[in-house]
Amino acid sequence: MIELANLSAHFGDAAALRDVTLTIQRGDQLGIVGESGSGKTLLALCLMGMASDSAHLTGRLSIDGRDMARASERDWQQLRSRRVAMVFQEPMAALNPLRRVGDTVMEPMLLHEGLSRGEARKRALSLFEEVGIPNPDQRLRQFPHEMSGGQRQRVLIALALACNPALLIADEPTTALDANVALRITDLLQRLAREREMALVFISHDLAAVARATDDIVVMYAGDMVERGPTAEVLNAPAHPYTKGLLGARPDPGVAVRDVKGKRRRLPTIPGAVPPLHALPQGCRFSGRCPVELPCCAAQRPVFSQTDQARGAACHLLTERRDD
């Protein structure tokens, strides 16, 4: 349904996204993880045709067999909401504060499908029920400021589903919510994708949420796809040092907060931060922060190679080992 082949996005000379290759089929539940600045949001915006005007896209981005990498804004308007839809990270700011949420949710139905107001209202009501908003009749008439963060995120999900999209992209849908609500939203997205046989792209830096909601995972670093595979396998046995680092930086409830001497254990972290676009290393973009760097890493870009039938990673260590 959606096919990316060597999709890259350049801002001037700097590549913010490099050679992303993946396919998304109906019913797929795909997680995209990485630190801030890894290009995961940019990738999502590319799928919506909403990357900024200054981003120059190359490669192939095909939706329903049509190459959209260089499509016009008008062509994209035809696809948004009807084929691809997106839920953004900040439910507090993502709804028009001057409109009743019912009007916001009904707007795409009225415009794209030519429903009458009555029909649209009926669909909005059933969507509100589907996403778990109690008293939908009353809620439709409320303004965003009259709702909690979790409720607003549900409204945004209902809005995204308004025209039955084939792909739903959720960009850090739970970051701004408290843990309990976040969990329920994650489960809701997963359930909706399953019931509607819709593809779900779930973007997060919360590995636990991704593990919960997705079947497959893509790990991004500085615009590169560094690892890909079935979620459970990748998280259990990460192949790329960056994935290992991400997993290490996660608090493990099984490990005591204090060690034997009573000192506070420090969470292992990946040293440094994602370098800015203009200061990326020549070769592997993770070189410099990588704990197991080889001499060739800084100069030579590792190729993304299949390690298993469904798995792959871009790391010199993997190819080196095979050469032996």
Partner 1 sequence: MAYFLFRRTLGFVLTLLAVSVVVFAVMNVLPGDPALTILGMDASDDALAALREQLGLNAPLVTRYFSWVWNALQGDFGLSHSFRVPVSELIAERLPMTISLAVAGMLVTLVLALSLGITAAAQHRRAGDWGVMFLSQLGIAVPAFWLSILLVMLFAVKLRWLPPGGFAGWSDPVAAIRSLILPTVALALVQSAVLARVTRSSALEVMRQDFVRTARASGLSQRRVLWRHVLPNALVPIVTIVGMQFAALVTGTIVIENVFYLPGLGRLIFQSIANRDLPTVQALVMLFAAIVVTANFVVDLLYVVIDPRLKART
Instruction: Report how far residue 125's alpha carbon sits from residue 103's, in angstroms, rounded to the nearest whole number.
Output: 12
* 79 counts as binding partner 1 under rule CB under 8 A: yes
Instruction: Report how far residue 109's alpha carbon sits from residue 65's, in angstroms, rounded to the nearest whole number.
Output: 25
* 80 counts as binding partner 1 under rule CB under 8 A: yes
If the CB atoms of residues 50 and 208 are measured against partner 1, the closer one turns out to be 50
If the CB atoms of residues 129 and 146 are measured against partner 1, the closer one turns out to be 146
* 112 counts as binding partner 1 under rule CB under 8 A: yes
How far CA 5 is from CA of 143, 244, 285, in Å, comes to 42, 26, 20
If the CB atoms of residues 69 and 92 are measured against partner 1, the closer one turns out to be 92
- For tokens 């009501």, what's the residue? 125
Instruction: Report how far residue 319's alpha carbon sits from residue 324's, in angstroms, rounded to the nearest whole number.
Output: 9
Q: Which stretch binds partner 1 (CB under 8 A): 35-43, 80-88, 203-211, 306-314?
A: 80-88
Minimum distance of partner 1 from residue 111's CB (angstroms): 7
* 111 counts as binding partner 1 under rule CB under 8 A: yes
Per rule CB under 8 A, count of chain residues that contact partner 1:
32
**Residue among 2, 61, 68, 88 that touches partner 1 (CB under 8 A):** 88
If the CB atoms of residues 2 and 162 are measured against partner 1, the closer one turns out to be 162
If the CB atoms of residues 94 and 207 are measured against partner 1, the closer one turns out to be 94
3-state secondary structure of 158: helix
Structure tokens at 2: 């959606």
How far does CA 73 lie from the centroid of its chain? 22
Give the DSSP letter string of 166-190. Answer: SEEEEESTTTTS-HHHHHHHHHHHH
**Residue among 107, 187, 215, 233 that touches partner 1 (CB under 8 A):** 107
**Residue among 7, 16, 20, 162 that touches partner 1 (CB under 8 A):** 162
How far CA 240 is from CA of 78, 130, 146, 174, 246, in Å, comes to 39, 39, 45, 26, 10
If the CB atoms of residues 149 and 288 are measured against partner 1, the closer one turns out to be 149
Q: Residues 34, 219: contact at Cβ < 8 Å?
A: yes
Q: Which residues bind partner 1 (CB under 8 A)?
A: 48, 50, 73, 77-82, 85-86, 88, 90, 93-99, 107-108, 111-112, 143, 145-146, 156, 159-160, 162-163
